[in-house]
Each structure stands twice: as structure tokens, then as C-alpha cells.
A and B are shown apart, each in its own frame.
Chain A
Amino acid sequence: MNGISEILGINFVVIGPTLALLFTTLVLLFCTITISTPVYVKKYISFVGILITLFTIFLKFGLFARDGITSYFSEKILLDEFSLVGNVLIGLVLLLTFNSFWKTSEVIDNKTTEALILILMSASGFLLMVDAENFIMLFIGLEIGSISLYALAGLNRGDQLSNEASLKYFLLGSLASCILIYGVALLYVSLSISGVYETSIAISFIGPDNVPLTSLIGLIMILVGLLFKVAAAPFQAWAPDVYQGSPTGYVGYMAAVAKASSFIVLARLSAISLRFILDKFDLFFTAIVILSVLAGALFATNQTDIKRLIAYSGVIQSGFILSGISFGVYGISASIFYLITYIIQLIGVFTVFSIISGQLSSDFKISNLSGLFKENKFLTVTFSIFMLGIAGLPLTSGFVSKFILITNLWSYEKYLIVTVLMLTTVAGFYFYLRPIWVAAIEKTDNSIGKIKISISDKVLLGFMAALTIYFGLLPNTLVNITRWMVENYL
């Protein structure tokens, strides 16, 4: 028995986080259908589940330190730097958004447990996705994650916009999944491979110039399927509607977890699978980066709904992160730095929104923020820090990440992209600073009254704001982590 499991590479530590989350969801499921459990017990169960998940992620580091880069389950699951960073990121997203999604689940009528189950399941799916070595495994993980997200978007049944968001996300998302799995099929047809490392081995075996057109198209289709999930233009059409319609408390989690896992997978593809033929995709990536940045900036300027504004700013940030990922290993390290800092800011912004506008509302105009500063100093200050971080003002992590990214791109001699990115950053100050102006400086008669913030929210917001400032002043730690991540692939 031992021999068989060794040959098949069965190892339960490496899928520990997924198992922990699944076990938590099964316990929750059991509590729902058999014994009536008080709500606070479910809260503790899911929180403890998330803590156990973080602990099992910690165990994976031990396995990595002992064995190095290894694949498990007959080359289905991969343990490398990317999967470790991806696991940590998803665990962090779960931990940081726990407060807001718990509060949302509490007020959503009669669906508390369902919402928790969907959230934990989607996290387990995305964990599998960042761990996947085989593209089929990647697809299954992506589907587990996305299907839960489609349902989460429409969980607020009474709201028209929420239903619309769910349906739109589902239809477009399944189309993107179709494209991805079709790409996998094309790659398998042309080269008889379906793995991350197999691809690079096959390409180096037949020579970068002899790669058949079918497999190039297949790879592009896989990339398109992933780019859809990060809402890079021209695949961004779903993002504003989904961000606007979904219950506000969930949007932070939904946006952050999908972006984190998809970008980690894209980075791994770029660092390993495509490393010999990356220059063939130059035009593709350049077009996507420039389109995302320009389209995002163009549409963000005239939004009145602030959640839509953040969605379009997400399109811009996707362009930024992709620009580093697509041009080589140093760029990848810069992009991962950018990704981590951006996700912290994104979660922070949406936590503030869900505190201000209530957990479920889909309607949240910029004018709703007016006069926030009068009685809610703490909220305004943290909100301003996050917005300035996304905009990229000095002293925040947004500036450092943009600086590292653009210097790296400059050393790769991508002058066109650097110019476009710099111009968009400058243009971005207009729509990033407008909400801050409305919230803090503009004179208004009907200001928002004092909003009660729970201590846990205060701690979380303070922590994220502190991280934003800290990485802006002393980015060394994070830079070293991202350097460590790619140093095996130089």
C-alpha cells in the first residue's frame, strides 16, 4: 500500500489547505442539515477552519524546504515558490476579508451557511488552481472557484442588480472556461502534453522555431481564459456590473481571490511554460496591456458609481501587473510585489465601502461619500490611504510597486509600454482623487452621521493601512520575498 501511494505521489500535506477548507465546509454543511446550530458557532467553526488552513499552508513550507520543487499525485499538483506564494495570498485574503463577508452573510436572510460554504469552497478551488501542474487540474480548480463566485454574486435575491451581476458573470465566465479548456485540448492535440513543465520540455525539445501553430493558438486560448478572470481588456466587460451588483461585503473577497490566483498561474506559465517562446507572445501581451490600461482609464473617468470606478481601476491594475509578468523573470518579481500590495489596498477599499453603505446594497454613488470626514475621521483617513495607494502616490506601497515595475520594464527596453503606463498613472490621479475630495474636502450640508465601527473592523483597517504605508517606506521585506520567488527561474 505504501509503495503504491509513493509511486502515485500521494501526499496529504501538499493538499492540506484544500482539505482543511473542505472539511470545514462539510462540518458547516452537516450543521445546517442535521442539528440547528446557533449562528455564532458557525462563525467560530469557519474562523477556526481558516486558521487551520493557514497552519497547513505553513506545513507546506516545511515540505518545500525538505524536498524543493516537487510534483505530487502523478504530476497533477506542483509544490514550488509560486504555489507557496499563491497559497499564502489566498489564505491572507480569507483572513482579511473574513470580517466583512461574515457580516454580510449574517444579514443576508436565511443564507448564512450557504454563503460561508460557497466562500470557503471557492477558496479551496483557487488553492487547487495555484497548486495545479496539469492544465486539467487547473481547469477543475478554476471551475470550483468560479462557480461559487457566480452564486455569491447573486446571493442577494431581492436585488435586481445582484441577479443581473450573477447571470452576466455566469454566462461570460462559462464562455471563458470553454475557451480555456479548448486551448488545453488544442495543446494536447498538437504536442500530446497537458502540463506546465511538460510544455517547456516539449518546446525546448522541438525547438522554439518549430512550435506548431495549433499549440501556439492553444496557449493563447489558455491565456485568454485566465486573462478573463483578472478582467484585462478586452475581456473586462463583466467586471463593473459584477462589482456593482454583488453584495458589497463579498466584492472585496471575490475580486481579490480571483485576481491573486489567476495572476499567480499566469506568472508560472510565463516563467516556466512559455520561457523559451515568450518573445512570440510579445505582440499579444503588449496589445492587452495597452488596451487594458487605456480602456480602464477612459471608462473610469466618467463613472458616478464608486464600485464601478474601482472595477475599472482594477482593469488598469491588471494591465500594470500583466506588463511585468509578460516580459521576463525580473518583471515577474516586480509584478508579484505589485499584486500583493494591490490586493491589500483593494480589500481595504471594499471593507470601507461595506462599512459605509451597509453590507448588501448594490447602489453606492460617489456622492454618497460626501461629508464623510466630519464625523468619521478614521474611515476617511484609511479610505484616503487606500485610494492614494491604488493611485500610486509616494509614501504608499502603490508608488513603490509602480516604481519597481517601471524600472524593470525600462531595463527590458519596453519604452512604448513604459510611456503609456506613466501617462495613465498621471491621468489616474483625476479619478482616484475625486472620491477623496468628495469625502474629505468638499463642502456639503447633508453629511453622513457617525457610523459605528466594530473593534475588529478598526483593527483590520488599521492593519491594512499600516501595511500600505509600511511597504511604501520600507519595501525591503516584500521585495526580498518576491526575489526569492523567482530566483530559481533566472
Chain B
Amino acid sequence: MVDLILFFIPSALIIIGALIVVFAKNPVHNAMGLVMTLVSIAIIYITLNATFVAMVQMLVYAGAVMTLFLFVIMMIGVDKKEQSSESIKGQTFLVSGVFLILISILGYVAISSEFKWDLWFEAVEFAVEGTPQLIAGTLFTAWIFPFEIISILLIVATAAAIALAYDSKRKKNDV
């Protein structure tokens, strides 16, 4: 029973969030809908015993990426007029074509398997509780060197971004 509740409530939230992303008029509401979807997916990951993926999902997607989205939205301006005309010629036609193809593939799979597929996987007993220990075990022994080197990658990216952005900022201040 608890399993079912833990599955259906986040699933409903995922779908509602996705609908908000598509249909909400205000960009900030769209972004918040996306946050809802991502957090609910993280809950489903936890129920699947993938704790590490859930944490990464929360930190990276719901945290960092969404902050970036909101930042861009704020920078462009929330109250900008919605663009309703096609920016690419034949956009609607292409999208509906792709959608039709997807639907027909799904239909083909459903019909060819004669509607007899098994959605309910058997319960698996996990030997180790949670994945963080496992990941840490390899990450901090065999993969310690790449792990440390990633920090240099971050320094390089920061230095590169500063080197490129520095000058323009100074000029703006002068004016």
C-alpha cells in the first residue's frame, strides 16, 4: 500500500508539473512547474533505492539548473510579450509530424505485443542499502585522481569565463 502511494502521488505531481510547464502563461510559473516535476522524479528515484541519483537530481537539476533558468528569465524580463508566431518556417507541421511518428511507434509496439506486457516488476532484495557508499568506495580509491583533476577543470572554466567577461564589465562601468 505504501509502495503504491509512494508511486502514484509523485507520478501525479510529475504529470501536473509537466502540464504547468507547457500551459502556464507566466515564465516563472513554467519554471516552478519544472521544479515540481524534477523533485517528484527524485522521490521516485528514492523509492527505487537509487539514493545517489536522487541527490544528484535534487542538487543539479532542481538546484543549479533551475537557478540558471530563473536567472535567465529574470534577465530577459518576466513581462515580455509572448511570441505566438512561428519562428521557424513549418514549425507546427514538423512538430505534429514527429508527434504522429512517435504515436504510431508506440501503437505498433502495443499492438505487436498484443497488449500483454508486464508493468509490475518483481520486488528485488538489495544487498547494499543505498548507492552512495558504493560510489564513494570507488570514487575515493580507484578514481581519486580523476576526481581531484575535475577541480582543475573547474578552475580553468572559471578563469576562462572571467578572462572573457572581465573587459566588457569594466567598460560598462566607465560609461
Contact A76-B164, Cβ < 8 Å, known A147-B157, A148-B156:
no
How many Å from the CB of A124 to the closest CB on chain B? 7
CB neighbours of B23 from chain A (8 A)? none
Q: Measured between alpha carbons, how far is A307 from B168 in the docked complex, in Å?
A: 27
> Which residues 122-175 of B have a CB within 8 angstroms of A?
141-146, 149-150, 152-153, 155-157, 159-164, 166-168, 170
> In the complex, what residues of A have CB within 8 A of residue B159's CB?
29, 114, 117-118, 121, 148, 151
**A102-124 to B contact mask, C-beta < 8 Å, 1/0:** 00000001110011011001101
B164 pairs with A155, CB closer than 8 A = yes
A157 lies within 8 A of B168 (CB): yes
Beta-carbon contact of A148 and B167 below 8 Å: no
- CB neighbours (8 Å) of A157 from chain B are 164, 167-168
Asked if residues A8 and B160 are in contact (CB atoms below 8 Å), the reply is no
Tell me the bound Cα distance from A171 to B154 in angstroms. Answer: 18
A299 CA to B43 CA, complexed, in Å? 56
Given contacts A8-B141, A115-B163, A121-B159, 17 further A-B contacts (CB under 8 A): A74-B142, A76-B143, A76-B145, A111-B166, A118-B156, A118-B159, A118-B160, A121-B156, A125-B152, A125-B156, A128-B149, A143-B153, A144-B149, A147-B160, A151-B160, A155-B164, A157-B168
Q: Does A202 interact with chain B (Cβ within 8 Å)?
A: no
Name 25 A/B residue pairs within 8 A (Cβ), A-sorted. Answer: A8-B141, A8-B144, A73-B145, A74-B143, A74-B144, A75-B142, A76-B142, A76-B143, A109-B167, A110-B170, A114-B159, A118-B163, A121-B155, A121-B156, A121-B159, A122-B156, A137-B145, A137-B149, A140-B150, A147-B153, A151-B159, A155-B164, A157-B164, A157-B167, A157-B168
Q: Tell me if A77 is interfacial: C-beta within 8 Å of chain B.
A: yes
Cα A128 to Cα B150 with chains together (Å)? 12
Q: How far is the CB of B171 from chain A (nearest CB, A)?
A: 9
Contacts of B145 in A (CB 8 A): 10, 15, 73-74, 76-77, 137
* Chain B proximity mask over A140-170: 1 for CB below 8 Å, otherwise 0: 1101100110110011010000000010000
Q: Given A74-B143, A110-B170, does the pair A140, B162 have CB atoms closer than 8 Å?
A: no
A345 to B153: give the CA distance in the assembly, Å.
Answer: 31
The reply to whether B162 and A114 form a contact with Cβ atoms under 8 Å apart is yes
- A300 to nearest B CB, angstroms? 31
A22 within 8 A of B: yes
Closest to A22 in B: B152
Is A124 a contact of B152 with CB atoms below 8 Å? yes
Q: Is the CB of A140 within 8 A of B149?
A: yes
| Cα separation A378 to B143 with both chains bound (whole Å) | 52
Partner of A136, one of B146, B162, B170: B146
Question: B160's contact among A15, A77, A134, A148, by CB below 8 Å, is which?
Answer: A148
User: Which residues of A are found within 8 Å of B144, using beta-carbon distances?
Assistant: 8, 73-74
With A73-B144, A74-B141, A76-B145 known as contacts, the answer to whether A114 contacts B156 (CB < 8 A) is no
**Residues of chain A with a CB closer than 8 A to B149's CB:** 128, 137, 140-141, 144
> How many A residues face the partner with a CB closer than 8 A?
37
| Nearest-neighbor residue (CB-CB) of B157 within chain A | A147
Nearest neighbor of B150 in chain A, beta-carbon distance: A140
Give the distance to chain A from B64, nearest Cβ to Cβ, in Å: 18
Instruction: List A contacts of B161 (CB < 8 A).
Output: 151
Q: Which of A29, A76, A115 has the most CB of B within 10 A?
A: A76
Which residues in window 294-340 of A have CB below 8 A to B?
none
- In the assembled complex, the CB of A321 is this many whole angstroms from the nearest CB of chain B, namely 27
Report A366 CB to chain B, min CB distance, Å. 31
Question: Which of A110, A134, A136, A151 counts the most chain B CB atoms within 10 A?
Answer: A151
Given contacts A76-B145, A157-B168, contact A114 B163 (CB under 8 A): yes
Write the nearest CB–CB distance from A28 to chain B, whole angstroms: 10
If A114-B159, A144-B156 touch, whether A166 touches B164 (CB-CB below 8 Å) is yes
In the complex, A111 Cα to B159 Cα: how many Å?
Answer: 11
Q: Are A137 and B146 in contact (CB under 8 A)?
A: yes
The residue on A at minimum CB distance from B144 is A8
B152 and A110 within 8 A (CB) = no
CA distance A15 to B144 in the complex (A): 14
Residues of chain B within 8 A of A110, CB atoms compared: 166-167, 170
Q: How far is the CA of A155 from the CA of B162 in the complex (A)?
A: 11
What is the distance, in angstroms, from B168's C-beta to the closest C-beta of chain A? 7
Q: How far is the CB of A411 from chain B (nearest CB, A)?
A: 40
Enumerate chain B residues within 8 angstroms of A22, measured Cβ to Cβ: 152
Q: Bound complex: CA of A398 vs CA of B27, how far in Å?
A: 60
Interface string of A48-86 (1 = CB under 8 A from B): 000000000000000000000000011111000000000
**Nearest Cβ on chain A to B116's Cβ, whole angstroms:** 29
Rank and list the top 9 A-B pairs by shortest CB-CB distance, nearest first. Answer: A151-B160, A114-B163, A74-B142, A73-B145, A157-B167, A121-B156, A76-B145, A144-B153, A144-B156
Docked pose: A24 CA to B145 CA in angstroms: 20
Chain B contacts for A155, CB-based, 8 A: 163-164
User: Which B residues lie within 8 Å of A74 (CB)?
Assistant: 141-145
A33 shortest CB reach to chain B, Å: 11
In the docked arrangement, what's the CA distance between A477 and B156, Å?
38
Most-contacted residue by chain B among A109, A117, A136, A166 (CB, 10 A): A117
